């Protein structure tokens, strides 16, 4: 489905981000670029160990992003944008905003046209889906100029939760 605000369109997708076929997907990384579990683990499992080349760039501070090949994924790049300092550390709303902004700026630097995000800083990193999507959408409004942005969620319950926050934020939901 699409959401719209101020002539900005964002696609909210129910499914697996590793199935996205576009230019780039975003890994909500840690600053050490260790790809253990969660979204990072799924990206590495599906795309191959070559994506771990991100470790060569570590540490990557929150607010910056790096890009690697997408390996066996159907995308050109994986953009690694830290949402936490270290594995198993908590994220914050500010980290989610900064990571989203950094990923969008890196995408523009790479001349990416389509990009897919998971919920940044949510799940095991401690942010609620609502906190995550609110910060992401703030960054998207400011920094997504010219990009086609997709946000992936894994379950129907999670999608329903996210949509409640989207509607409260003044976005119009179009099925």
Q: What is the CATH number of the domain that holds 148?
A: 3.40.220.10
- Residue 125 pLDDT > 90, yes or no? no
Domain count, the chain: 1
Q: What is the pLDDT of residues 24-80, one digit of tens each?
A: 999 999 999 999 889 999 999 999 999 999 999 999 999 999 999 999 999 999 999
Q: Name the residue range of residue 40's domain.
A: 2-174
Cα atoms in the Cβ-side hemisphere of radius 13 Å centred on 159? 17
Cα atoms in the Cβ-side hemisphere of radius 13 Å centred on 96? 25
Q: What is the pLDDT of residues 136-160, one digit of tens each?
A: 999 999 999 999 999 999 999 999 9
């Amino acid at each position: 489905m699409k959401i719209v605000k101020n002539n900005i369109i964002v696609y909210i997708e129910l499914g697996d981000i590793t199935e996205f076929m576009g230019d780039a997907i975003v890994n909500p990384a840690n600053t050490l670029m260790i790809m253990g579990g969660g979204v990072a683990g799924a990206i590495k499992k599906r795309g191959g160990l070559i994506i771990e080349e991100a470790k060569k760039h570590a540490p990557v501070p929150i607010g910056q992003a790096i890009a690697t090949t997408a390996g066996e994924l159907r995308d050109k790049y994986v953009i690694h944008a830290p949402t936490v300092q270290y594995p198993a550390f908590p994220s914050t709303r500010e980290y989610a905003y900064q990571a989203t902004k950094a990923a969008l700026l890196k995408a523009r630097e790479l001349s990416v046209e389509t990009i897919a995000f998971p919920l940044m800083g949510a799940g095991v990193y401690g942010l609620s889906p609502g906190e995550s999507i609110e910060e992401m959408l703030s960054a998207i409004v400011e920094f997504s100029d010219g990009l086609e942005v997709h946000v992936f969620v894994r379950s129907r319950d999670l999608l329903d939760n996210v949509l409640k926050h989207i509607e409260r934020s003044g976005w119009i939901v179009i099925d």
